[in-house]
Structures are given as structure tokens and as C-alpha cells.
């Protein structure tokens, strides 16, 4: 007997399929855990790194308060929505009828009930939860509104309609309206959920016979209560409308007008009362079961909304206001004028009539010597290429496309300067140099600032540098030159390391291509979060998508990571309640380079004040052409204060916020919310105070308002006949406003000249003449005393010019300059040989009992290495126009040979770079003495220019007659005249004669201030 051998099944005795199920069972949880870890790391890479950033900077209180408020509001919003919707759905389901009516309608719903029944429990949890998530996210976005409500301030001024303190409108009313709006949304969604559930499960029917009840008792009670709550909230909304109407916008003026006060506000109160009555009818329906009363109430409410809320105000407006509108609206226009002036800080403008002369007379400027000597010839919007060409040093440094105007005390006198920081520019590196190591650990910072005198130039019209070179030399003294934080900084850099790890490129040397390296002293200075441990390395590697952070040997225990390095970004993060000025500018203060940022508190809830769209009010030709100067963010406001001055240290990134306007109620509220983040005004040192200035964007907003609100008489304001406008920039194509200009000047009746921000006005209207109607200047100098503003800081002075239009505006002056024969001849001479003419900012100054216009003229090559050099100055007074190599010459030409002032500021201070970008040149060994040779050269120059003018006219006449032979002769005469003119100019400068073939380069003319 034999037995067949059978292979043994290793899985015998175990249920089939269990091993694979067990393997799958272990894999799925593992994948879930891994996925959860990945999500957690991704979240922490954003959340925990933010915590580290704020903690390192010393503003962790800001993040804790904001996140804490957001979290609480999210939970409140989530619970309010989810619980309300969930309970209404659950109550509607549990109160459903045991037996649904046997109707065709219910029969068709059976299939939906059967389909949803397996998922009913899940739907009743997930649907409210999803709505709760959306509600929580929306509510958390209003954390600032809630915080301001909780820390409401007393303003001390009452509104003109109800006599309520303005703090109610700025702080309380927005919070209450937010809560009411949110509760209305919760009530509506709860009602929709209850309605849908009751209908699905038979508690509510739409069709069928009328002898059967439409709702069950439970459905009637639930829906009636929800409707009653909704009506009460609508009543509250109507009641709050009575206050919000004080901030409404209208075509002629903002705020409540006659019709609003006498018709709309009473109608809102009536509608609120009707809504309360309708709410009561719904409560009665819940008890008694009769839907007729609430339906009648809702109908009454709709009719009242149309009749009382719409028709009645329209009738009042049509038959009571419009026939007498100027008189009827006078009181409310007065309210608007007073509120607007207060809300924008223009209530104390010093307005004076200025009977400007238009005839230039000798010695007219003798009383304005200080202003004339300070006229800024260096245009910060034009000379950036000159800074780059002469002071950039190497391709991985750069300057912004628009420079900044500041002032420094030099030899005991205030000097207007054009200044810029030499920022790091990684895009200037060759492609072969671009790698993670270089980008992140080698090229980490810029180096030094460059400053030039604003009222003079050096040889050939180059900037006359007060501070220049690498290492930095000049009159600004010793300071830390390394720029780790700037608007143009890379996304992030990693600095620091052990002793001897000097792999950061500090600066190039002057000995032929070498460099000096450095190491950021992270042991002594904190500039960014530590990235020395493995956990932080992982988070930052994920945050910036760079695995090199994990594996590079240059990331060590001493390493710090620098990011969010733009001064605007840093201030915006630590002060999220501020609207920041569009310009950030550098200053050398107490041995450090700091970036100065102006911050504004704003509101759109100031009763009766005019609403302004901030970005529209601050757009001009500068913001449109520059990448570094921005308009304010797009938001609507009717209240603004320059409440905070902020500084960002360019070396270690330290942010300091100073409470500049401690009378601002909104700032006082934020100081209570963030009690440790702002320093008092008394902490500002005098050296920093000397570089603080009146901000441009605030001034732009104020000039936009003063174009209309210089009119104080309500009836005149209603007609609008004396409204003004900011003129278009004559140097820019299209309708773009001219930017304001910083300059040192003395306004009429002002005791002495001061650093000011200025602008002009012309009549409003597309068809209006471009004549000057107003001139505005604000004292922009904050002084130089510790913790004390200068007495005159922020004082706005407004000159009203004659209404006869005798004083030309910027557009007319630009046209006069362009069409002037002498200017045209000079431009023809300058433009020959491949040079482009660049007309700089057209400055207007109220001097000489009139209005003086000054426009510097630059030349730059058409191609190749191009950078502008100042070559001429155009001056206009009334209809008189003159152009000269110097400001002195142009002024004297306009004022009959003697302006009464000397504008040549003299020789550059000791150590000043004359514009070559190198060391200060040695004195000439054989300096020329002025004498007969100079007089002869000037005479020759004048003769040559006159011959050139005649040659140009003869050439044009010859072309018009088709006489090409005569045209050729005139061109030969023109060439000879140009050669003679250049030769004469060279002799004036002590140079050599220039041949006609050398005329292709910009002429080496004497320049203003040279």
C-alpha cells in the first residue's frame, strides 16, 4: 500500500487571504502617519519659522496677539456657525412627522430620503463643519476690527449730527456692524438648513390641497423663531445704518446731506420699527399657528422699504432740495469741510494771497539768497545711472532707479543731498558665478552709501560726491558700511561660522581685482534666526525649497539665516496695522546705516470726511516710472495720520517703531493692543531726528484734498468754480501728476529757509488754462533735538495766486522753455554728435515776489556707456526764459543781468569727490587765475553761439527755399561756430581746444556750481 506524497501548503490551516490583508493593514496606517508627518512639517515650515523670525526680532508679542486673536475668533466663528446650522438640522430631523402625508410631492421625495439616509449622520456633521470652517476663516480675518473695538479710545470730538464722540464711529460701530452681519449670515444659513430638512422629511409642504396644514407644529415653531431672530437682526442693521450714513459717499461731497438727515435717517428708524413688529408677528405665529400676520408684516415691510426708504427720500430730494440745493446743503457742506480738514490734518493750513509778479527786475532775488543758493540741480530721478557708472564699482552692486533726497549738516550748515545705498545685486553676477554657495553664503551684503550735493555738480556735470568710494570716504564720518538688509537684498542668506570661516565677500579691493572677505559675527550680533540645529535646518530647507541647507558644511552651529530683508516687509510684518509710505530711504545715523520708513494709521469711518482712494491719490509720474517708489496700497480712507516713524538697521535688521503722533486715537488703541512694540517720541535721538522728514504720500493725499478743500465757504464749494488740480508732469507723456519735490526754500513771510516738500496747483478742468493758482509747501524738517519735533515741522503754507491767470503754470512754462529760440539753439548744439537731452524736474519757487521756475538739463550718449551729466540750467520768470551753463548765468540773464544773488556754493568741501568715483584729486600744479583770458574766452563763446544761431536760421531758410548750396554753406558755418564755441569753453575750463571731430562726446561745459 502506497501513499502519494502531497506538497504541504504553508498557509494550510489559516483562512485564505489573511496574510495579504495583514500586510495591507500595516501599510495603510504607515502611509497615513507618514503623510501626517509630511503635512505637519510643511505647516511648521511656515508657522514655526515665523515664530522664530518674530522672536529673534523682539516682536513675538505682535505675533502672539495676532495669532491668539485669530484663533479665538476662528473658534467662535466656527462654533457659532457649525452649532447653529447643526442644531437646526438635527432639530428639524428629530421633529419630523412619523408618517409623512401621502401626497405625490412626498412620494417624489421618498427616493431622495432613501438615497441620503445612509449618509445622513455624516451629512449632518460634515455640512455644518464645512460651513463653520468657512465662517471661522472669515471671522478670523477681522481680528483687527475686534481688537480696536476692545480697545476703543475716546477722541474728545463729537459728530455734528448725533453729538456722539467720534470714538464710537472709529472703533465701536465697525465692530457692532461686523457682529450683526455675521449673525445675519448664521441665521440665514440656519434657516436654509432648517427649511431644507423640514421639507425633505415632510415637516413642510409646498403643493397639495389647501385643507391640509402646510407645516407641522414643530416646523412652524422652528421656522418662526428663526425668522423672528432674522427680523430683529435686520432691525438692528437698519438702526446702525442711521450712524453709518454719516460716512456715505456722494458726487458733490461725502457725509449725510439734507435728504439723508431729513428723510433717510427717519426712514431707517421707521424700517427698524417695522422689522421689530414683523419679528413679533413671527413669535405670535410660533404660538398660535397663523401665518397670515407675519406674511402681512413682511409685505408691509417691503412696501415701507420702497415707499419710506426709496420714494419719500426721492421726493424730498426732487421737490425740496433741488430747487434750493445750494442753500439747503450749505450746513452739511460746512460739516464736510470741517471734518475733512480735521481728518487729514489740514485744518491749520496757513493760507495767504500771493500777488506774484511776472516781470523780472534786477536785484529781485536779493532777499532770497538762501533759497537761491539751495536750489537743487541734481534730479534724484535722473542721476541714478550716473551713480551706477561712477560709484557702483562692480556688477554685483547696484543703486535704485530713483534716489532719495536728504540733508546733512556739513561745516555747520545744512546741505541738501541726493543719497543711495550701494545694494547687493545678484543678477549682476555672471552665469558661471551663480550657484547656491555663492548666492547664499558668499555674496551676502552690499557696501556703503553714496551721497552727492544737491545744489552743485563737479567736472563735466557729474555729481559732486560728498560720500563715495570703497572703502567709503567723505564727510559723513565713520560708520558700519555693510548693507545686509535693503530693498534689493536676495531672498535669503546664511551668515556666520567658526573662527577663520571668512567666506563672505566683503568688498573688492582697489589693487586690481582682489577682494576682502569677512565673517558676520553671529556670536555677538543677532541678525536672523539660528539655523544651527538639525530641526531648524529641516524647516528652512522646506520653507525655501533648498536641500543644500541640510547638507552644506557652511550651515553650522554659528549660522544665522537672514530673510524678509526688505525694510518695508520687515516693518509691515511687525506693525500689520500700518499703511506704509511708498518710499524707503537710507540715512547714516550714529555710525550705522538705517532705513527710514513712514507708517500711517487710516480709517474709513470718520463722519462727514471726504473719502479718498489712497493709491489714486498717490500715483504720479515717479511711481509709474520707478520700481522702487510705490503708491499707497489700494484702499479707501477718510482719515490718515503719519503716526509712526520706523527704522530698520541695514547691518543687523533691527526694527524700531516710534510713536510719532501720540495724539492719534487709532495709534493709542494699537499701543494698548501691543504695549511693548512702540517706543515713545522721547526715545528718538537728535541725530536720527535730523533725518526724519515729512512723508511724501501723506503730502500727496493732503494736496489732493486741498485742491478742493482750500475753499472754506460752503456756497462757493457747492459751485466748484475755484477748485484746483495737481498739474501733469510736463516731462512725462500722458495725464500723470507731477510729483512733489523736496527742496530748501523760504516761503513768503517765513523767517528763514527750511527743508520743505512742495507742489503746485492749476485750475481744475480739462479745458482750463495751465496757469498757476496755488503753491503749497510743508515744513519737512523735524529738527535735531532729542525727542522733540521742530516747532515748525508739519506746518503747511498755501499761496493763492492771482485769478487772472497771469502766472504761468508748469505746462505753460514747459512750452515757453521748449519754444524759446535760445533754448532751441542750445538744444541743437548740445544734441549734435549723438547726445540725448534729458530735461530734469521742473522746480517752482516763490521768490523775487513772483514764481521762479528752474529746470536742469542733462546730456547722455545715445548708445554704449550712457549716463547723464548736467550741462545747462533753464530758468523762467513770468514769460522770460534763459538758459546758461550755470544757474548764476541763467538767473542773471532773466533778471536783466543782475539777479541779486550768487548761487555758486563755492569749492567742494574737503574730501569731496568731484565726480570721478575715485580718490579726491590733487590740486592742479598751475591753477589758472581769472583775468583777461577768461573775459576773452567768454566773449569768443558768446560770438560763436551767436554765429551758430544765425547759421541755424539761414540753414532753415535755405531748406524752405530749396537752395541746397546755401544750406551747405550754412552747415559749414555752423560746424565752425560749434568748434569755436567748444574751444572757448575749453579755455574757460583751462583745458585744450576741441576740434569738430571731437564734438561727438558731450561738451565739457561749465556746470552749475562748478
- The secondary structure of 621-648, three-state, reads HHHHHCCCCCCCCCCEECEEEEEEEEEE
User: Where is average pLDDT lowest: 55-69, 429-443, 830-844?
Assistant: 830-844
- The predicted pLDDT at position 835 comes to 85
Q: How many residues does the chain have?
A: 1010
- Tell me the three state secondary structure of residue 504: strand
Position 89 confidence tier, pLDDT thresholds 50, 70, 90: very high
Residue 985 has pLDDT above 90, yes or no: no
> 593 and 687 in contact (C-beta within 8 Å)?
no
User: How many of the other CB atoms lie within 10 Å of CB of 875?
Assistant: 25
Q: What is the DSSP letter of 776?
A: E
Position 112 confidence tier, pLDDT thresholds 50, 70, 90: low
pLDDT more than 70, % of the chain:
87
- The predicted pLDDT at position 636 comes to 96
User: Where is average pLDDT lowest: 106-120, 201-215, 366-380, 885-899?
Assistant: 201-215
Buried-exposed string 603-634: b where 16+ CB fall within 10 A, e elsewhere: bbbbbbbbbbebbebbbbbbbebbebbbbbee
Residue 359 has pLDDT above 80, yes or no: yes
> 195 and 89 in contact (C-beta within 8 Å)?
no
Per-residue pLDDT tens digits for 361-412 = 999 999 999 999 999 999 999 999 999 999 998 899 999 999 999 999 998 8
Position 711 confidence tier, pLDDT thresholds 50, 70, 90: very high
Per-residue pLDDT tens digits for 654-702 = 999 999 999 999 999 999 999 999 999 999 999 999 999 999 999 999 9
Which triple of cell numbers denotes residue 979?
A: 568748434
- The predicted pLDDT at position 919 comes to 40
Residue 207 has pLDDT above 70, yes or no: no
Q: What is the dihedral of CA 413, 416, 420, 421, to 10 degrees?
A: 20
Q: Which of 385, 257, 393, 403 is closest to 321 using CA atoms?
A: 257
Q: Which of 485, 407, 583, 510 is closest to 919 using CA atoms?
A: 510
User: Where is average pLDDT lowest: 59-68, 242-251, 683-692, 913-922?
Assistant: 913-922
Average pLDDT value for residue range 550-563: 95
Rounded to 5°, the CA angle 650-655-658 comes to 125
How buried is 570 (Cβ within 10 angstroms: 0-12 exposed, 13-18 middle, 19+ buried)? Answer: buried
Q: Classify 951 in phi/psi space as left (phi over 0), alpha (psi -120 to 50) or beta.
A: alpha
- The predicted pLDDT at position 820 comes to 94
- The predicted pLDDT at position 551 comes to 93
> 635 and 676 in contact (C-beta within 8 Å)?
no
CA dist., res. 575 & res. 169, Å (int): 23
Residue 576 has pLDDT above 90, yes or no: yes
Residue 1006 has pLDDT above 80, yes or no: no
Position 571 confidence tier, pLDDT thresholds 50, 70, 90: very high
Per-residue pLDDT tens digits for 610-627 = 999 999 999 999 999 999
- The predicted pLDDT at position 979 comes to 73
Per-residue pLDDT tens digits for 217-272 = 888 899 999 999 999 999 999 999 999 999 999 989 999 999 999 999 999 999 99
> 650 and 135 in contact (C-beta within 8 Å)?
no
- The predicted pLDDT at position 954 comes to 74
Amino acid at each position: 500500500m502506497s501513499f502519494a506524497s502531497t506538497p504541504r501548503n504553508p498557509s494550510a490551516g489559516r483562512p485564505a487571504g489573511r496574510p495579504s490583508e495583514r500586510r495591507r493593514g500595516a501599510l495603510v496606517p504607515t502611509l497615513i502617519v507618514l503623510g501626517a508627518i509630511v503635512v505637519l512639517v510643511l505647516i511648521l515650515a511656515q508657522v514655526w519659522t515665523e515664530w522664530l523670525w518674530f522672536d529673534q526680532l523682539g516682536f513675538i508679542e505682535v505675533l502672539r496677539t495676532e495669532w491668539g486673536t485669530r484663533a479665538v475668533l476662528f473658534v467662535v466663528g466656527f462654533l457659532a456657525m457649525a452649532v447653529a446650522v447643526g442644531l437646526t438640522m438635527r432639530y428639524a430631523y428629530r421633529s419630523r412627522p412619523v408618517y409623512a402625508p401621502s401626497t405625490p410631492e412626498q412620494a417624489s421625495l421618498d427616493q431622495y430620503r432613501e438615497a441620503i439616509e445612509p449618509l445622513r449622520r455624516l451629512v449632518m456633521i460634515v455640512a455644518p463643519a464645512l460651513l463653520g470652517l468657512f465662517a471661522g476663516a472669515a471671522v478670523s480675518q477681522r481680528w483687527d476690527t475686534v481688537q480696536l473695538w476692545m480697545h476703543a479710545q475716546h477722541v474728545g470730538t463729537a459728530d455734528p449730527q448725533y453729538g456722539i464722540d467720534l470714538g464710537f464711529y472709529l472703533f465701536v460701530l465697525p465692530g457692532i456692524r461686523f457682529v450683526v452681519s455675521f449673525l445675519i449670515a448664521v441665521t440665514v444659513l440656519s434657516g436654509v438648513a432648517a427649511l431644507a430638512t423640514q421639507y425633505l422629511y415632510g415637516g413642510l409642504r409646498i403643493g397639495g390641497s389647501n385643507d391640509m396644514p402646510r407645516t407641522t407644529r414643530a416646523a412652524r415653531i422652528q421656522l418662526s423663531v428663526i425668522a423672528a431672530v432674522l427680523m430683529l437682526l435686520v432691525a438692528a442693521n437698519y438702526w446702525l445704518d442711521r450712524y453709518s450714513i454719516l460716512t456715505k459717499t456722494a458726487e458733490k461731497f461725502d457725509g449725510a446731506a439734507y435728504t439723508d438727515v431729513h428723510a433717510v435717517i427717519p426712514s431707517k428708524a421707521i424700517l427698524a420699527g417695522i422689522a421689530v413688529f414683523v419679528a413679533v408677528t413671527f413669535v405670535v405665529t410660533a404660538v398660535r399657528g397663523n401665518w397670515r400676520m407675519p406674511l402681512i408684516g413682511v409685505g408691509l415691510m417691503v412696501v415701507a422699504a420702497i415707499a419710506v426708504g426709496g420714494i419719500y427720500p426721492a421726493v424730498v430730494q426732487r421737490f425740496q432740495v433741488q430747487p434750493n440745493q445750494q442753500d439747503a446743503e450749505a450746513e452739511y457742506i460746512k460739516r464736510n469741510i470741517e471734518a475733512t480738514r480735521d481728518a487729514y490734518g489740514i485744518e491749520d493750513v496757513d493760507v495767504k494771497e500771493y500777488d506774484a509778479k511776472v516781470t523780472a527786475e534786477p536785484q529781485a532775488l536779493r532777499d532770497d539768497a538762501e533759497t537761491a543758493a539751495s536750489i537743487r540741480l541734481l534730479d534724484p530721478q535722473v542721476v541714478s545711472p550716473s551713480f551706477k557708472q561712477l560709484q557702483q564699482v562692480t556688477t554685483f552692486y547696484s543703486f535704485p532707479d530713483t534716489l532719495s533726497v536728504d540733508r546733512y549738516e556739513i561745516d555747520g550748515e545744512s546741505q541738501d543731498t541726493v543719497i543711495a545705498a550701494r545694494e547687493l545685486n545678484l543678477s549682476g553676477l555672471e552665469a558661471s558665478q551663480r550657484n547656491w554657495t555663492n548666492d547664499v553664503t558668499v555674496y551676502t551684503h552690499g557696501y556703503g552709501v553714496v551721497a552727492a550735493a544737491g545744489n552743485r555738480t563737479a567736472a563735466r556735470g557729474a555729481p559732486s560726491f560728498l560720500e563715495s568710494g570703497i572703502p567709503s570716504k567723505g564727510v559723513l564720518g565713520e560708520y558700519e558700511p555693510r548693507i545686509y538688509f535693503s530693498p534689493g537684498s536676495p531672498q535669503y542668506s546664511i551668515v556666520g561660522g567658526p573662527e577663520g570661516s571668512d567666506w563672505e565677500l566683503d568688498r573688492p579691493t582697489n589693487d586690481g581685482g582682489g577682494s576682502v572677505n569677512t565673517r558676520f559675527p553671529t556670536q555677538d550680533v543677532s541678525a536672523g534666526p539660528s539655523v544651527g540645529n538639525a530641526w531648524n535646518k529641516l524647516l528652512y530647507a522646506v520653507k525655501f525649497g533648498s536641500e543644500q541647507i541640510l547638507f552644506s558644511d557652511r550651515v553650522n552651529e554659528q549660522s544665522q539665516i537672514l530673510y524678509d530683508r526688505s525694510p518695508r516687509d520687515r516693518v509691515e510684518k511687525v506693525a500689520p496695522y500700518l499703511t506704509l509710505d511708498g518710499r524707503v530711504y537710507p540715512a547714516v545715523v550714529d555710525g550705522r546705516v538705517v532705513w527710514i520708513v513712514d507708517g500711517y494709521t487710516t480709517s474709513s469711518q470718520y463722519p462727514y470726511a471726504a473719502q479718498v482712494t489712497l493709491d489714486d491719490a498717490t500715483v504720479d509720474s515717479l511711481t509709474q516710472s520707478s520700481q522702487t517708489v510705490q503708491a499707497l496700497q489700494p484702499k479707501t480712507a477718510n482719515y490718515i495720520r503719519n503716526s509712526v516713524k520706523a527704522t530698520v538697521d541695514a547691518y543687523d535688521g533691527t526694527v524700531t517703531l516710534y510713536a510719532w503722533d501720540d495724539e492719534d486715537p487709532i495709534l493709542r488703541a494699537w499701543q494698548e493692543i501691543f504695549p511693548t512694540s512702540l517706543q515713545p517720541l522721547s526715545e528718538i535721538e537728535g541725530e536720527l531726528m535730523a533725518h526724519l522728514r515729512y512723508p511724501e504720500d501723506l503730502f500727496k493725499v493732503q494736496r489732493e484734498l486741498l485742491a478742493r478743500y482750500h475753499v472754506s465757504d460752503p456756497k462757493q464749494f457747492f459751485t466748484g468754480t475755484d477748485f484746483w488740480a495737481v498739474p501733469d508732469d510736463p516731462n512725462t507723456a500722458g495725464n500723470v501728476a507731477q510729483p512733489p519735490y523736496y527742496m530748501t526754500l523760504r516761503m513768503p513771510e517765513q523767517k528763514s529757509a527750511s527743508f520743505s516738500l512742495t507742489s503746485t496747483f492749476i485750475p481744475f478742468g480739462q479745458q482750463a488754462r495751465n496757469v498757476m493758482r496755488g503753491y503749497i509747501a510743508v515744513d519737512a524738517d523735524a529738527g535735531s533735538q532729542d525727542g522733540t519735533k521742530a516747532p515748525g515741522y508739519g506746518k503747511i503754507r498755501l499761496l493763492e495766486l492771482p485769478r487772472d491767470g497771469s502766472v504761468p503754470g508748469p505746462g505753460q512754462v514747459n512750452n515757453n522753455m521748449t519754444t524759446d529760440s535760445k533754448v532751441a539753439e542750445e538744444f541743437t548744439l548740445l544734441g549734435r554728435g549723438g547726445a540725448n537731452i534729458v530735461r530734469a524736474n521742473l522746480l517752482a519757487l516763490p521768490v523775487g515776489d513772483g514764481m521762479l521756475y528752474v529746470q536742469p538739463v542733462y546730456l547722455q550718449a545715445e548708445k554704449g556707456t550712457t549716463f547723464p551729466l548736467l550741462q545747462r540750467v533753464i530758468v523762467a520768470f513770468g514769460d522770460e526764459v534763459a538758459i546758461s551753463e550755470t544757474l548764476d548765468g541763467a538767473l542773471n540773464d532773466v533778471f536783466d543781468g543782475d539777479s541779486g544773488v550768487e548761487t555758486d556754493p563755492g569749492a567742494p568741501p574737503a574730501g569731496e569727490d568731484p565726480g570721478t568715483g575715485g580718490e579726491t584729486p590733487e590740486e592742479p600744479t598751475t591753477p589758472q587765475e581769472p583775468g583777461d583770458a577768461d573775459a576773452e574766452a567768454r566773449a569768443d563763446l558768446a560770438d560763436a553761439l551767436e554765429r551758430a544761431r544765425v547759421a541755424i536760421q539761414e540753414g532753415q531758410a535755405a531748406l524752405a527755399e530749396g537752395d541746397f548750396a546755401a544750406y551747405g554753406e550754412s552747415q559749414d558755418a555752423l560746424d565752425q561756430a560749434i568748434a569755436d564755441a567748444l574751444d572757448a569753453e575749453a579755455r574757460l575750463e583751462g583745458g585744450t581746444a576741441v576740434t569738430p571731430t571731437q564734438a561727438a562726446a558731450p561738451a565739457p561745459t561749465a556746470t552749475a556750481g562748478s
